[in-house]
Amino acid sequence: MEVLPKTLEVDDKFPESKDLLPSQTASSLCISSRSESVWTTTPRSNWDIYRKPIIIMSVGGTILLFGVVITCLAYTLNLDPTSRNVLKMIGPAFLSLGLMMLVCGLVWVPIIKKKQKQRQKSNFFQNLKSFLNC
């Protein structure tokens, strides 16, 4: 167990000081897309924005095609029954995994677009607010 420094120790007299301690959870140590500030104005390229969904869709499409090939081979080749049964099990598994990844990537793109629109609107309102306050 990690020992807290003297300045961060919780005093038994003041239970509300427990709320002031820094969080030691893994979620606070990781930077996620949700923790990104809405007010940042650093421009990002389209590749930076859509890189992950493109990679997920590419891998999903590749796995889907691989599953199609394996499934077709299972039904067209004259193989012994054990090899045919293995191919008949593996082919649909790759089909479903590839389709799932492809759909996840395709759904991710509109979510990112919506997020970008919200970020642009918030930047607009921030600029408007600063203009009106001057």
- What is the Cα–Cα distance from 28 to 21, expressed in whole angstroms? 13
CA–CA separation, 65 vs 35, rounded Å?
Answer: 36
Q: Where are the domains of the chain?
A: 50-134
Please, what is the end-to-end C-alpha distance for the chain in angstroms? 51
Q: How does pLDDT run across 32-73, given as a tens digit for each residue?
A: 445 455 555 577 888 888 999 999 999 999 999 999 999 999
Over range 80-106, report the average pLDDT: 95
pTM of the model: 0.60
Distances in Å between the Cα of 11 and the Cα atoms of 2, 7, 14, 24, 25 are 17, 10, 6, 18, 21
| Residue 124 pLDDT class (50, 70, 90 cuts) | confident
Distance CA 96, CA 34 (A): 29
